[in-house]
Structure 1
Amino acid sequence: MAAPTSEVSHHQSILSVKAVAESCIQSVPSKYHFVNDINGSPSDSIPIIDFSLLTSTNLHHRSKALQELDKACVEWGFFVLVNHGIPENTMRSLLDGSVEFFELTNEEKQRYEPKGVLDPIMSGNGSMPNSESHTILAWRDFLKINLHPTFYCPEKPETLRDILWDYSVRVRNVFRRLVEAVAENLELEQGYMDDVLKLDSCFQRFVANYYPPCPQPDQVMGTPPHVDYGLFTLLIHNGLPGLQIQHNGEWFKPDHSPPNSLLVNIGQHLEIFSNGRYKAIKHRAVVNNHSPRISIIIVNGAAPDAIVGPAAPLVERDGRALYRPMEFMESVRAMLTNRY
C-alpha cells in the first residue's frame, strides 16, 4: 500500500517547515505533532551492487553481479549501487540547486502549490492521518518535478534547470541498464520489458525533500512508512542519516553508504511486473535536532500509457497472475490519491 501521505498540501500548510524550524520554536506545533519511535538498527548488510560489473563484457563478472542483484531484489528490495558512472560533482550540484529552491521566499514557492497529485511541478509539505484520523503535517518540505517524457523545471533557481536535465538523462541510462539486468534475471527475452513497458517514453519524476532540524525529533514524522510506485527509485542525500528500511519486520538504518553511491529500491510496478518475485519494501524518513537533511530521489516507471501487469511469460511459468493489469499513469494516480 502506498504511503499515507497526501501529495496535495492545503493552502494553510504552505508556510514551509523550514520557516517554522527557523523561527526558534522550542516545541513542536500541534499541527505537526506525531508521536514516533525514531530508533532503527544499524545495518552494514544492505547489498552493494557494482554497476561496472553488471555492465561488464567479462561474462564471469557480469554473471556474478547478476546473481547478486537478483538476491538483493528478492531479499531486501534495496541495494547500494556503486561505480554507476554519474560524476560526484553532478550529484553535489543537484543537491546544492535543490537547497537553493528551498531557500526561495514562500511567495515564490507558493507558485507551485499542488492542485492535483500529478501536477508537473509541486511544492509543499504534505499531510497524513494520525491514530485519531486527524490530519497532521509532515516535518518536511518537498519539490516534485516531472522530468520525462516531458521535462519541466521551476523558473528559479536558474542554476537548477541544466543540472537537473543532465542528471535526469544520466539516471535514465542507469535505469535502463538495471532493467536489462532484471529482465535477464527474470529469464525474459531481450527487449521484452522495453517493448511492453514502452521505456523509451518512461515516466520519470524528481523529488527533493528538505527535512529541517526539529527540537523534538520523536514528536514528528519526516516521511511516514511507504513503498514507492514505479520500477526503480534512485536516491542520493547530503550525508546525514534519516532513511530507514523495513526488513523482516525491523527498521534498519543504511547510513554508511560508500562515497558517490546511489541507493536503489524497487517500486510497486516492478513488484507487479515480476508477479511478486521482487517486492517493494516499506521505508520512512526520520529527522534530527541539529542539521537539515536533504534527499533527492528519481522515480523511474513505465510510459504513462503503458499497461503494467505481470509479465505474460512469468504468469505462464507461475500458473497465475497475482496482480491485475492497469495503465501506468492511472495506477500511479490511484496510489497517490489513496495516500491519505
Structure 2
Amino acid sequence: MAPPPTVSVSSSEPPKLHASDIGSIKAFADSNGLSPIPSSYYSIVEARDDVADHLASSIPVIDFSLLTSDHPQIHADAVSQLGKACADWGFFMVTNHGISEKLMEEVMNKAHEFHNLPVEEKKEFGDKGPWAPIRHGTSFFPQAEKVHFWRDYLKLITSPQFNFPHKPPGFKEVAYDYSRKIRAVARTLLQGISESLGLESKALEDCTGFDSGLQVFAVNLYPPCPQPELALGMPPHTDHGLLTLLYQNEIGGLQVKHDGKWVNVNPLPNCLIANVADQLEAVSNGKCKSILHRAVLNNRNTRISIPLVNGPEVEKEIGPASELLEKEEPLYKTIKYRDYFQLQQEIRFNADKGALDEIRLNRQN
C-alpha cells in the first residue's frame, strides 16, 4: 500500500494540496504527526472568540418519555416544549429516547472499526456522487470546494432502501437496527412538532411522504489537527432533510449558531442531538428554524459523530403544509425534495446565502 502523501516544511507556508491528493485525513494525520497542515485546509474565517459559552447550558432538552406519555397534560407540556425548542433554537437534546446504551455503544465501536480499516480496504466505497448509496471520502464536498476540511466520512442511504458496507463484520446488522430505531424516534418527534403547530399529529408525516422518506446515515471522523485554530472539520451549514439526529463520542466539537454567536454543544450522557433541517422549516412555513452548525477541531483527541438525516420522500413536492396556509400566506416556494437537494449541492459554498434563501418568497435581494 502506498503511503499517504507527506508535506515538506519550509520557512514559508506549506505547499498547497488538494483533497484529491489526500485520500484519508486519518492516514495523513497518522503519518505526518505534528507537521503543519497544508494551506488548502485553512478554513477558519471567523474568530474563535465569537463563542458564547454562557449559552451552552440554555440548549433545550426534550424528555422523549414525556412526549410519549399517555397522560394528556404531560404530553401537551412536552409538545409545547418541543415546539418552543424548534422555534427558538432549531436544536435540542433528546433524553430517555428508548434506544439502548448497548446498541449506541455497538454502533460507535463499529464506526471506529470502519475508519481504522486500511485505506486500501475502503477504496471500493469511494465517493461517486451524492446519490451513491454507499460512499466514503474526505473533506466536505471535494468536487466543488476551494478549501478543504479535516474530516473523513462514510455516507449511506439507509431509507427507503437500506445500503451498508459489508465490513467490518457486524457493522451492517448493528446499523440496520440503529437506523430503524432512529427513524422511529424521528417519526414521534415529527408528530409532536406537528401537534405544536396546531395540526393533526400525522399531518407533517403525510405531507412529506415520511413513510418512504430518505434517510442518510453518516459516520464522521475528525482526527486530531496540529493547528485547530486554522481549520474546521465541517463548515457552517444547514441540513437538507426534516430532522437530523446525531450521536457522538465523548469528544466535543459541535457548535450551533444562536443569536449570532456560536455555542458549544456539551451533550448529556446517551442523549441524541437533534436539529431542525431545511425541509422542516419550509413545511412549517418558517415556524421551525433550520440551524447553522459546524464542527471545530482539537489537537489531542479523535472525534466521531454519527448523524442520521431523516427527510421526505425524494420525489415529493415540499412546501408549507396546506393546513397552515388556511390562515397565513406561504413564505416558501414548493419544490421537489430531489431538486432542493441538488440546489443545496450547487450553492452550499456561497457564504452569503443558502438553499432556503432561494425558495423563500418575498426575500430581500
TM-score, normalised with respect to structure 1? 0.92
| Separation (CA, whole Å) in 1 of partners of 2:140 and 2:72 | 49
Deviations 1:9-40 (A, max 9, x none): x8724520001111124211222222453443
The residue aligned with 2:347 is 338
| Separation (CA, whole Å) in 2 of partners of 1:176 and 1:127 | 28
Task: Give the letter for the 1:98 counterpart.
Answer: A
The residue aligned with 1:187 is 198
The residue aligned with 2:182 is 171
Displacement of 1:158 in angstroms is: 1.8
Instruction: Give the secondary structure class of the aligned counterpart of 2:58.
Output: coil
More RCO (CA 8 Å, sep 6+)? 1
Task: Give the letter for the 1:34 counterpart.
Answer: S
Instruction: Give the secondary structure class of the aligned counterpart of 1:139.
Output: coil
Contact 1:14 1:106 in 2 (8 A): no
1:123 aligns with 2:136: yes
The residue aligned with 1:196 is 207
| Separation (CA, whole Å) in 1 of partners of 2:140 and 2:192 | 37
1:16 to 10, 24, 40: 24
1:215 aligns with 2:223: no
Contact 1:14 1:113 in 2 (8 A): no
Instruction: Give the secondary structure class of the aligned counterpart of 2:306.
Output: strand
1:285 aligns with 2:295: yes
Contact 2:61 2:93 in 1 (8 A): yes
The residue aligned with 2:271 is 261
Contact 1:124 1:141 in 2 (8 A): yes
| Separation (CA, whole Å) in 1 of partners of 2:201 and 2:253 | 38
Structure 1 range deviating more: 289-298 or 107-116:
107-116
The residue aligned with 1:272 is 282
Deviations 1:210-250 (A, max 9, x none): 00001110111110000111110001100111000100000
| Separation (CA, whole Å) in 1 of partners of 2:331 and 2:77 | 29
- The runs of 4+ residues in structure 1 deviating greater than 6 Å are none
Contiguous gaps of at least 5 residues in structure 2: 1-17, 350-365
Contiguous gaps of at least 5 residues in structure 1: 1-9
Contact 2:36 2:227 in 1 (8 A): yes
| Separation (CA, whole Å) in 2 of partners of 1:134 and 1:144 | 18
The residue aligned with 1:140 is 151
Correspondences of 1:31-42 after superposition (within 5 Å): 31-36=40-45, 37-39=47-49, 40-42=51-53
Correspondences of 1:54-203 after superposition (within 5 Å): 54-127=67-140, 135-203=146-214
The structure-2 alpha-carbon separation of the partners of 1:52 and 1:315, relative to structure 1 and needing over 3 Å to count, comes to same
Contact 1:118 1:333 in 2 (8 A): no
Percent identical among aligned pairs is 40
Displacement of 1:189 in angstroms is: 2.7
Instruction: Give the secondary structure class of the aligned counterpart of 1:111.
Output: helix
Displacement of 1:111 in angstroms is: 1.7
Structure 1 range deviating more: 139-148 or 101-110:
101-110
Deviations 1:144-199 (A, max 9, x none): 00000000001211221011000011011111111111111111234322222122
Instruction: Give the secondary structure class of the aligned counterpart of 1:171.
Output: helix
RMSD: 1.8
Contact 1:14 1:110 in 2 (8 A): no
Task: Give the letter for the 1:316 counterpart.
Answer: E
Task: Give the letter for the 1:285 counterpart.
Answer: A
TM-score, normalised with respect to structure 2? 0.85
Instruction: Give the secondary structure class of the aligned counterpart of 2:312.
Output: coil
2:239 to 222, 228, 232: 228
Task: Give the letter for the 2:26 counterpart.
Answer: K
Contact 2:107 2:174 in 1 (8 A): yes
1:299 aligns with 2:309: yes
Displacement of 1:201 in angstroms is: 0.5
The residue aligned with 2:327 is 317
Task: Give the letter for the 1:283 counterpart.
Answer: H
Who wins on radius of gyration, i.e. which is larger?
A: 2
Displacement of 1:99 in angstroms is: 1.2
- Number of equivalenced pairs: 326
| Separation (CA, whole Å) in 1 of partners of 2:301 and 2:290 | 30
The structure-2 alpha-carbon separation of the partners of 1:35 and 1:173, relative to structure 1 and needing over 3 Å to count, comes to closer
| Separation (CA, whole Å) in 2 of partners of 1:191 and 1:224 | 34
Instruction: Give the secondary structure class of the aligned counterpart of 1:79.
Output: strand
Instruction: Give the secondary structure class of the aligned counterpart of 1:137.
Output: coil
The structure-2 alpha-carbon separation of the partners of 1:230 and 1:127, relative to structure 1 and needing over 3 Å to count, comes to closer
